[in-house]
Amino acid sequence: MNKFYQYFIFSFSIFILFHAGACAQEIKPDSVASAWAFGGSANLNFSQVNVNNWAAGGQNSMSVLGMTNLVANYKRGKNTWNNSLGLTLGTVKLENQRVRKSDDRLEVNIKYGRETSSKRWFYTGQINLKSQLTPTYNDAKDTIVSNFLSPGFILVSAGMDYKPSPRLSIFMSALTGKFTVVLSQQLADIGAFGVRPAWKSEVGKLMPGTGQRFRKEMGGYINVRYTDEVIKNVTLRSKLDLFSNYLTDPENVDVNWENIVDFKVNKFISANLFLHMIYDDDILIKVDTTGDGVKDSKAPRLQVKETLGIGFAYKFK
In whole angstroms, give the CA distance from residue 135 to residue 151. 11
Per-residue pLDDT averaged across 23-45, rounded? 68
- Tens of pLDDT, residues 219-245: 999 999 999 999 999 999 999 999 999
What are the sequence ranges of the domains in the chain? 2-48+59-175+219-316
At residue 317, the pLDDT reads 66
Q: Are 68 and 97 in contact (CB under 8 A)?
A: no
In whole angstroms, give the CA distance from residue 165 to residue 173. 20
* 3-state secondary structure (DSSP) of residue 180: strand
Q: Are 281 and 252 in contact (CB under 8 A)?
A: yes
3-state per-residue secondary structure call for 87-147: EEEEEEEECCCCEEEEEEEEEEEEEEEEECCCCCEEEEEEEEEEECCCCEECCCCCCEEEE
The tally of CA atoms less than 13 A away on the side-chain side of residue 243 is 27
Based on the number of CB atoms within 10 Å of its own CB, is 80 exposed (0-12), middle (13-18) or buried (19 or more)?
buried
At residue 113, the pLDDT reads 95
**Looking at the predicted structure, is the pLDDT value of residue 34 above 70?**
no
CATH domain 2-48+59-175+219-316 topology: Outer membrane phospholipase (ompla); Chain C (2.40.230)
Q: Is the peptide bond before 151 cis (omega within 30 degrees of 0)?
A: yes
pTM of the predicted protein model = 0.81
pLDDT, the chain, mean: 86
At residue 5, the pLDDT reads 43
Per-residue pLDDT averaged across 88-112, rounded? 91
* 3-state secondary structure (DSSP) of residue 6: helix
Across 56-60, 149-153, 170-174, 279-283, least confident range: 56-60
In whole angstroms, give the CA distance from residue 311 to residue 317. 20
Q: Are 191 and 200 in contact (CB under 8 A)?
A: no
- Tens of pLDDT, residues 68-89: 999 999 999 999 999 999 999 9
**Looking at the predicted structure, is the pLDDT value of residue 20 above 60?**
no
pLDDT band at 130 (very low <50, low <70, confident <90, very high): very high
pLDDT band at 56 (very low <50, low <70, confident <90, very high): low
